[in-house]
Chain A
Amino acid sequence: GAGVSQSPSNKVTEKGKDVELRCDPISGHTALYWYRQSLGQGLEFLIYFQGNSAPDKSGLPSDRFSAERTGGSVSTLTIQRTQQEDSAVYLCASSHLRGQGVNEKLFFGSGTQLSVL
């Protein structure tokens, strides 16, 4: 596809259930990011992938959050035993890593709106 694709666009779940959020990055982009956006909080970094490895997962809020990336492409963010404070928009972004190692241009998907009741 032409852009970053995320699914589902909306997810309503009950407290305590597990959820999986999917991200399809732009073809050929080696770097993939997950961010979380809550009202009035801006974008909160969660995890960064370079290829299939995650050199920086410092933003994951707790061990209930995990993410993987396979084939250097699709990524899945999993939240176990969801809590109401997990309600937010989860955004995925991809970029092509430049030679000097600085990614200044991230292409974002439209996000998954997660609501935990």
Chain B
Amino acid sequence: QKEVEQDPGPLSVPEGAIVSLNCTYSNSAFQYFMWYRQYSRKGPELLMYTYSSGNKEDGRFTAQVDKSSKYISLFIRDSQPSDSATYLCAMMNTGFQKLVFGTGTRLLVSP
């Protein structure tokens, strides 16, 4: 079993829809949770960062962490065609220097 599980998709939605992306994990020591966005033929870029449990909002994006369920989510409101990309969750223990990534979910937002 992988440490981090993520549905690869693709997830296809119409423009304006609310998108929900999710990851589950098995390592209860993870404390730092991130979402990266990766466009085709580009490297991932950090989108959202959350420490421990709770919510964080940034514009149209909301990240949620539920440590009791070992479940994290990224919500995108009013989705745009420019949001079409692969979204990777990533997480890390305190004191460790490497991120453990999910496989990524490919999102397609149609006009």
Residues of A within 8 A of B (CB): 4, 31, 33, 35, 40-43, 45, 48, 50, 55-56, 59, 91, 93, 101-111
Bitwise interface map of B from 89 to 104 toward A, beta carbon under 8 Å scored 1, else 0: 0101011011111111
**Cα distance, A40 to B6, chains bound together (Å):** 10
B3 to chain A, nearest CB (A): 11
- State whether A42 and B101 are in contact (beta carbons under 8 Å apart), knowing that A102-B32, A104-B32 are contacts in the complex: yes
- Classify the secondary structure of B's interface with A: loop
Contacts of A41 in B (CB 8 A): 103
Interface contact tally, CB-CB below 8 A: 59
Asked whether B88 lies within 8 Å of A42 as measured between CB atoms, the reply is: yes
Among A4, A102, A107, the residue within 8 A (CB) of B94 is A102
- State whether A56 and B43 are in contact (beta carbons under 8 Å apart), knowing that A43-B88, A104-B32, A104-B92 are contacts in the complex: no
Q: Decide yes or no whether B34 CB sits under 8 A from chain A.
A: yes
Asked whether B98 lies within 8 Å of A40 as measured between CB atoms, the reply is: no
Question: What are 5 of the A-B contact pairs (CB < 8 Å)?
Answer: A41-B103, A42-B101, A102-B95, A104-B46, A106-B46
Q: Decide yes or no whether B71 CB sits under 8 A from chain A.
A: no
Asked whether A110 lies within 8 Å of B41 as measured between CB atoms, the reply is: yes
Closest 7 CB pairs of A and B: A108-B43, A42-B103, A43-B101, A42-B101, A45-B98, A108-B44, A110-B43
